[in-house]
Chain A
Amino acid sequence: MKRILLAVGLVAATAWAAGVFTATAGAVTFRWTNDGDALSMDPYMVNETFSLFTASNIYDPLVMRDQNLKVRSALAESWKNTTPTTWELKLRKGVKFHDGADFSADDVLFSYHRVLSQGSDLKGNFANVVSIEAKDAHTIVITTKVPDPILLSLLTTWSIMSKEWAEKNNAQEVTDVRKGTENYATRNANGTGAYMLVSREADVKTVLKRNPNWWGWKDKSLGDGNVDEVVFTPIKQDATRVAALLSGDVDMNYNMPAQDVARVKSAGMKVYQGPELRTIFIGMDQKRDELLESDVKGKNPFKDKRVRLALYLAIDEDSIVSKIMQGAATPATGMVVKEVTGFDPKFKRLGYDPERAKKLLAEAGYPNGFSVGMDCPNDRYVNDALICQAVVSMWAKIGVNAKLLAQPKAQYFPKILSRNTSLYMLGWTPVTIDGLDALDNLLLTPGEKIGRFNLGSYSNPKVDEWANEARLELNAAKRTKHLQDALDLAHSDVGSIPLHYQQVIWASSAKVDLTQLASNYFEFFWVKVKP
């Protein structure tokens, strides 16, 4: 009996010791979570930040953004304009895909054809591109219709795929629900990037493993992370996500609710709070002669700048930021944040002055105010419905009675995108981190491809003129000035009422060190985990 016990004890002790020692010599695993997941592993399926940055860890683009959001080399080492409408890019040599195949210009050409196929959501980025050709195995030439100063910004989200791999697995076209069958690229990936896809279960678990042959590890300004394995487990419920971080089941939370920041800090976690590129604003119908949802008959109050200004001045944005957003926002001085080209630090909010607002309304012919219907989402932006409720009560104080209709985004966006609205809230992130994107989509007179999200049809010919000048201006300083002028005029004209810039809040355990970008991109090759 004693001998049996001794033997068992010895075995157990050895197992325990082996466990301890193998644990310390093991791989560095980084576990993180978010409330949602990437829609697919196909990098062209949807033009949405989360899916795009997930792809950017597995695939490389031609050019990428560094820690300061500036465009820098990736698979393209250098570039020059041979003419204003041609760009010649020299590709990096010695790069291999995860399956061992060599990267060359053929893969770039293939990726170009693939990104233009039906089902691709990134086609819009190439609207100005006429062709992409290979001059030799490591040089490509991009020709544009008109000179495009920000062409490279549009290429930072374009992952380069392997022609061989796609042809072998019948994935030459982008994942498309209309095809009726599953595309291989939905759950498989083969890129040149820092991490390789090991397994993918959408909404459950996605595992990535370090690619030791990545060219970026040699570049100290780029790859200084030490993570070997990345395990992503989405957790939809806010409370459970925070609990998972507190209990140590995950190392990092990509989407921290603002209300739990204090709790998490007091538990010794690190909190990263910084501005995002998103501006939250309110738009007004300025086109119709009579508003759809108002008691004012025969005229449209929002066509009068005094009324728009009155609504702007009645909003106490500082209170919204401190009480509703709990400090996790910055009052907006315009429609773009400071990282975006076209921002001017001299911009200022038009003010908070309810008395003046009432006077303006009276001058405009509405001494007793008026009522109007307001549309708001309730599951799209941080505290969206609460902000709308606060704004409605602030407007009530100056006599404007806004009837709020808050809906989930699946019903909200169809309504407002068909311009079936009088007053609405929207958030916007310029994907090119350039003011022209905000102007084109939100403030220019709606046309065939312009003003898609200018749902109130605000129109000022001077703003249009300056924006169009910036479109073709290759001189960076002049271009920025045009953008600033256009944005400033649209702001003082109260084409829309910017509220605040959202902040993005991440949290991690104390042993994790990472870089947070305003673009909300999360690159795993910048993550360091202390053992």
Chain B
Amino acid sequence: MLSYLLERLLQSLLVLLAISLIGFVVFRYVGDPVLNMVGQNTSVQEIEILREDLGLNASVPVQFWRYLGKVLHGQLGLSYRHARPVATLLAERFPATMELALVSTLFALGLAIPLGVYTAIRPHHWLSQVFLGVSLAGVSLPTFLIGILLILAFSVTLPWLPSFGRGDVLRLGWWSTGLLTLDGWRHLVMPAVTLGLFNLTLVMRLVRSEMLEVLRTDYIKFARARGLGRRAIYFGHALRNTLIPVVTVAGLQLGGVLAFSIITEQVFQWPGMGLLFIQAVGFADLPVMSGYLLLVGVIFVTINLTVDLLYLVIDPRLRVALILR
């Protein structure tokens, strides 16, 4: 068990190294940050001095080596745009993205699993058809369109919900939470729905198709023949067996949602990491982009590791296989 974990950790470190190297090379072509840091009347000499001082005239391998050295000392550098430490900026923005991602994933999974089970159990019921049809909207409409439509409907036409931002947040140490205030929840509703709609459809259809397949298997037939109650069959046996692919997908989606909520954050001006990143790209703010990429790599690697461990919890056969290795 321990050796398995260590092996996975080593793999993760290699992945992180590869991500940061590729990112670094690609960012060379993003543009010139120095011109964004000064006004139009700044002299050429000043700009050249600034470029030299920031180390941007060195070759890519040298720059990457210096960067790696700093990262291993825990320093992610200063943002060119904000002139503040990248680590502080990411830490300030992380709670917003985390809360949005969690709430939207909970919303998606919380609805998707029951709906998926229902549409599998009663495939020909009219309610099932309605759920399946409406869910198509979640997959086919682009995120920003859903977001803007929601704003149009619930902020402009019906003044029920606020159109942007995160609202009042409470600071608990370094974490800022919007989950403890009514204003925070009002601001969270539309972004969470927008972000979660795609996941909802995906997981619902996945659960549905897995359930349909499991329900046709022999052991379910035998269980029914044995006289087991419906709840015991559907939720005790069938659902449990469909969960492995669902957990995999949900894990990947959570990672995706954490890392790439950029569009939703931009539409709702949600002060999270995605918005920070997209603004950094426009500014060619290299330290923030590299720091963000590294953080996203860590998040994905952690989630994948957790998912692998969850497999062991769900499926007893894998535990045995691991012990026998």
Interface residues of chain A, those whose CB is within 8 Å of chain B, are 39-40, 45-48, 121, 123-125, 175-178, 180-183, 186-187, 201-205, 233-237, 239-240, 243-244, 246-249, 379, 408-411, 413-414, 417, 428-429, 431, 441, 449, 452-453
- Contact pick for A240, options B53, B163, B271, B284, CB 8 Å: B163
**What A residues does B271 contact at CB under 8 A?**
201, 203-204
Q: Are B41 and A248 neighbours in the complex by a CB distance under 8 Å?
A: no
**What A residues does B38 contact at CB under 8 A?**
46-47, 121
Nearest B residue (CB) for A453: B40
User: CA–CA, A429 to B85, complex, Å?
Assistant: 33
Q: Are A186 and B282 neighbours in the complex by a CB distance under 8 Å?
A: no
**What A residues does B92 contact at CB under 8 A?**
201
Interface stretch, picked from B105-113, B154-162, B222-230, B299-307, is B154-162
**What B residues does A239 contact at CB under 8 A?**
148, 151, 267
A213 to chain B, nearest CB (A): 30
User: CA–CA, A124 to B41, complex, Å?
Assistant: 7
User: CA–CA, A176 to B53, complex, Å?
Assistant: 11
Nearest A residue (CB) for B35: A413
Nearest B residue (CB) for A45: B83
Q: Are A410 and B151 neighbours in the complex by a CB distance under 8 Å?
A: no
Q: Are B164 and A431 neighbours in the complex by a CB distance under 8 Å?
A: no
Nearest A residue (CB) for B166: A204
Interface residues of chain B, those whose CB is within 8 Å of chain A, are 29-33, 35-44, 46, 50, 53-54, 78-85, 88, 92, 144, 148, 151-152, 155-156, 159, 162-166, 266-269, 271, 275-276, 278-279, 282-284
A410-B30, A410-B282 known; A186-B163 Cβ under 8 A: no
A40-B83, A203-B275, A235-B164 known; A452-B44 Cβ under 8 A: yes
User: CA–CA, A414 to B276, complex, Å?
Assistant: 23
B167 to chain A, nearest CB (A): 11
Nearest A residue (CB) for B165: A233
Q: Are A243 and B39 neighbours in the complex by a CB distance under 8 Å?
A: no
Nearest B residue (CB) for A202: B82
Across chains A and B, which 9 residue pairs bring their CB atoms closest together, nearest first? Answer: A410-B31, A47-B39, A414-B32, A247-B155, A410-B284, A204-B271, A235-B269, A178-B53, A411-B31
A382 to chain B, nearest CB (A): 17
**What A residues does B166 contact at CB under 8 A?**
204
A240-B268, A249-B163 known; A124-B42 Cβ under 8 A: yes
Q: Are A48 and B156 neighbours in the complex by a CB distance under 8 Å?
A: no
5 contacts between A and B (CB under 8 A): A123-B46, A124-B43, A235-B164, A236-B275, A410-B36
User: CA–CA, A47 to B165, complex, Å?
Assistant: 29
User: CA–CA, A287 to B80, complex, Å?
Assistant: 35
A178-B50, A203-B271, A410-B30 known; A240-B164 Cβ under 8 A: yes
**What A residues does B88 contact at CB under 8 A?**
182
Q: Are A47 and B85 neighbours in the complex by a CB distance under 8 Å?
A: no
**What A residues does B32 contact at CB under 8 A?**
410-411, 413-414
Q: Are B54 and A244 neighbours in the complex by a CB distance under 8 Å?
A: no
B263 to chain A, nearest CB (A): 10
Q: Are B148 and A247 neighbours in the complex by a CB distance under 8 Å?
A: no
**What A residues does B40 contact at CB under 8 A?**
47-48, 428-429, 431, 441, 453
Nearest A residue (CB) for B279: A203
User: CA–CA, A180 to B29, complex, Å?
Assistant: 24
User: CA–CA, A115 to B54, complex, Å?
Assistant: 21
- Contact pick for B156, options A178, A235, A246, A409, CB 8 Å: A246
User: CA–CA, A452 to B37, complex, Å?
Assistant: 17
**What B residues does A40 contact at CB under 8 A?**
82-83
User: CA–CA, A202 to B53, complex, Å?
Assistant: 25
Q: Are B36 and A182 neighbours in the complex by a CB distance under 8 Å?
A: no
Q: Are B83 and A176 neighbours in the complex by a CB distance under 8 Å?
A: yes
Name, among B36, B41, B85, B267, the residue most crowded by chain A CB atoms within 10 Å (CB to CB).
B41
Q: Are A247 and B78 neighbours in the complex by a CB distance under 8 Å?
A: no
Nearest B residue (CB) for A47: B39
A54 to chain B, nearest CB (A): 14
**What A residues does B165 contact at CB under 8 A?**
204-205, 233
- Contact pick for A431, options B31, B41, B46, CB 8 Å: B41
Nearest B residue (CB) for A233: B165
A245 to chain B, nearest CB (A): 9
Nearest B residue (CB) for A40: B83
A121-B38, A203-B279 known; A177-B148 Cβ under 8 A: no
**What A residues does B156 contact at CB under 8 A?**
243, 246-247
A47-B40, A247-B155, A449-B43 known; A234-B269 Cβ under 8 A: yes
Q: Are A236 and B279 neighbours in the complex by a CB distance under 8 Å?
A: yes
Q: Are A48 and B163 neighbours in the complex by a CB distance under 8 Å?
A: no
Nearest B residue (CB) for A428: B40
Nearest A residue (CB) for B159: A247
- Contact pick for B83, options A177, A237, A409, CB 8 Å: A177
